[in-house]
Amino acid sequence: MTGSAQGTGGGHQPLHLNVSDDEDGQRLDRWLRRRLPGLGFAEAQRWSRTGQVRVDGKRAKPDLRLTAGATVRLPPLALPMLDAAAEGRVAQRASGAEDAAFLRGRVLVETDDLILIDKPSGLAVQGGSGTDRHLDGMLDGLARPGDVERPRLVHRLDRDTSGVLLLARNARAAAWATRAFRERTTTKIYWAVTLGVPSPQRGVIDLPLAKRPVERGGERMVAVDEGEDGQSAITEYEVMATGGPCALVALKPLTGRTHQLRAHLAAIGTPIVGDLKYGGAAVDLRRIGLPKRLHLHARRLTLTGPDGRRISAAAPLPPHMAASFARLGLDLGMGLNLEIDG
């Protein structure tokens, strides 16, 4: 069995699910969240901590990597979540064709190993609390006839960041792409509209970043001094145009820290327009006609694929940033060719 619940009668019996072939290697906590979309993070952690979840009869930590064919025991509380998930899958199949067509229309480049798509602003890459529609749930729509594996995510973009996102067609290509990002053989160029103009107009931001709690809950990345608990974070940047109180900045991250570009630009006093998390109320520029949305765009990704082919994909500006370009008097025709060397 790969997905049915096995019980022994009664509503208080534990449930047993088997790990399918395409779930091989998944972390237990992520597997639980995918199988039981209604399960909260804290509850999943508690189930593991108290032994209510067992893998092949043994207690299992949340970060355990599952193997195909393993049996996962769940507490009886999981049954209504499984029923809800089944109902959700029926609804998902009804909308699957529409999502597939949507995603096919966002493909920029595809090869036998990789797919580069233009992710729209506002679409989450993966599901989470309160997130029913997300890119990961649509990837079956990019599978080709005869494919034995579904396409899979390789890296991430924030929900509100638009632009080029890399997908792999299979586990082999995903492992290769993950290594390429880790070894920094890929080149990523982002565009941002900032409040204020970075000075100098071309330079490097070399500021370690660390997570810090915020007053209203949650966390954000902040620049810290050398010797503190921060991780090295380096970003090359170049101011490409200015208009009103804003600048169009091209960015090339040399490291891949969470929210690196957002935190770095805020740290030098020129936060991204619409980024209230890092720029506060000042970056809400509706007063001058700019949309209250994050103005950060993954413009271009360049890499050499597993087959040795050099691939470069560029994503057009999202509508809200194009509107801001027009409002600020930025030259869109000129802007479409902006890059940082290399």
Tell me the catalytic residues: 158
* CA distance to 21, 144, 151, 171, 232, per residue, from 148 (Å): 10, 9, 10, 11, 39
Which two structure tokens, joined as six digits, stand for 330? 């930025």
**Is residue 167 within a helix (H) or strand (E), and if so which, with residue range?**
strand 162-168
Cα distance between residue 138 and residue 193, in whole Å: 30
DSSP 111-132: -SSEEEEEEPTT-BSS-BTTB-
Residues 6+ apart with CB under 8 A from 220: 211, 212, 214, 259, 263, 277, 278
Cα distance between residue 111 and residue 234, in whole Å: 31
Q: What 3-state class would DSSP assign to 285? A: coil
Cα distance between residue 1 and residue 72, in whole Å: 12
Q: What 3-state class would DSSP assign to 92? A: helix
Cα distance between residue 228 and residue 233, in whole Å: 13
Query: Which single residue is written with the structure tokens 């108290």?
Result: 50
Cα distance between residue 261 and residue 298, in whole Å: 11
Dihedral sign (CA 83, 86, 92, 94): negative
Q: Which amino acid is at 304?
A: T
Burial of 199 (0-12, 13-18, 19+ CB in 10 A): exposed
**DSSP code for 61:** -
